[in-house]
Amino acid sequence: MTDIDIRGDFPLLAQSVNGQPLVYLDNAATTQKPRSVLDAMRHYYEFDNANVHRAAHALAARATDAMESARAAVATFIGAPAPEQVIFTRGTTESVNLVASSLAQGLVPGDEILVTAMEHHSNFVPWFEACRRSGAVLQTAGVTATGEIDLRDFTARLSPRTRVVAFAHVSNALGTLNPVEEMLALVRQQAPAAKVLIDGAQAALHVPLDVRALDADFYAFSAHKMFGPTGMGVLYGRRDALEALPPYQFGGEMIEAVSLEAVTYNRLPYRFEAGTPNIAGAIGLGAAVDYLNTIPRDTLVRREASLVSDAMRALADMPGVRLVGTPKQRVGVVSFLVEGGHAHDVGTLLDQQGVAVRTGHHCTMPLMHALGVNGTVRASFSLYNDASDLERLLRAMHKTLTFL
């Protein structure tokens, strides 16, 4: 296991909680931010704060250059063919809502949308609503007892009536790494008219991305899951898929010309970015990408995988602890339950020892129902976690078990 230490780049991690040095294992909810991201956003507000694309003065020009440089950096990071195929949103949730709301306008009764029981609510509820409003039918592929998508069921639910297919690259609740290439191939074979959206919120930091090679119609992710700021996200789309979408919101920036008689909408990407954008957020996302490009990411991802594997083995050996979800391929997450102890109580006891984890249904109630549980304790790792964090988690768990 590598001894590379990037923890010092993240100021928040230096603090103590309840008298103990912080061990932050809630990274699937949000990651911490390196100093370079904080500095980039502060610099914008201190020196370049102006609206973009709309003025001839120096501050506006600098702000515009910084935001569009961030867009270009993101495009390169994910392998997008062109920066204009990168749409800035408020996060994965808005990205999915954008696509769902726009595609719903072309749905008719009898059309079908296929999702999976593994989805985060943000990749389930928008499609549920699209079906409710259009009369389309929502199909849901099941999950196995190990916490993997049931590919037989997924395949069986594809049909010539399928118009949209949406699924996660990585499960936020279990860490399951889904076979997205295989699933895409199945969709293209069985439902060639369907548009495919992949929720990449949990994958963007941990899995190398090449959206051009992957060739999904849409790919969505959030800045705050990859060392960037909250309230900032990305929707990547194939050019033909984006150009076929009607606008999602209306107002300034997304128009080219307005008269009393007609409106002409702007070109990509601006037709989907109505109003003043989150300029500082875009700059922060660009800085996060720049930071990720400077660290030995592959090496740190392997360390993270080793920590997750070690955590699973150690927790499985603890009396009264049950792992929830044992997929063959996993990224970043370990979910578990303690016999006789409520997940929230476990999380509270860990917090008292300075260990931050997440408890509850993790916005995946259909998945929890399919697995027969109400929720789990979720420890989620990131690139700055190391063996000492795992040791602290295990020590805290041993102590917690004595109270339950």
| Residues 362, 368, 371, 373, CA torsion sign | positive
- C-alpha separations of 237 from 87, 88, 177, 281, 354 in Å: 8, 11, 22, 20, 41
131 flagged as catalytic = no
Q: How many Cα atoms occupy the beta-carbon half-sphere of 94 within 13 Å?
A: 18
User: Can you tell me the distance from the alpha carbon of 131 to that of 109, in angstroms, rounded to the nearest whole number?
Assistant: 8
The alpha carbon dihedral of 42, 47, 51, 53 has a sign of: negative
Choice among 113, 180, 268, 363 that is catalytic: 363
The DSSP code sequence of 209-267 is --HHHH--SEEEEEGGGTTS-TT-EEEEE-HHHHHHSPPSS-SSSSEEEE-SS-EEEPP
User: Residue 190's closest CA among 169, 170, 161?
Assistant: 161
Residue 255: burial class (beta carbons within 10 Å; 0-12, 13-18, 19+) = middle
Q: Which two tokens stand for residue 134?
A: 């259009």
Strands 376-380 and 137-141: unpaired
The whole-angstrom distance between residue 404's C-alpha and the CA centroid of its chain comes to 33
Q: How far is 171 from 181, CA to CA, in rounded Å?
A: 16
Q: CB–CB of 184/164 below 8 Å?
A: no
DSSP 314-360: HHHTSTTEEES---SSB-SEEEEEETTB-HHHHHHHHHHTTEE-EEE
Identify the residue whose tokens are 């699933």.
183
Cite the active site residues: 363
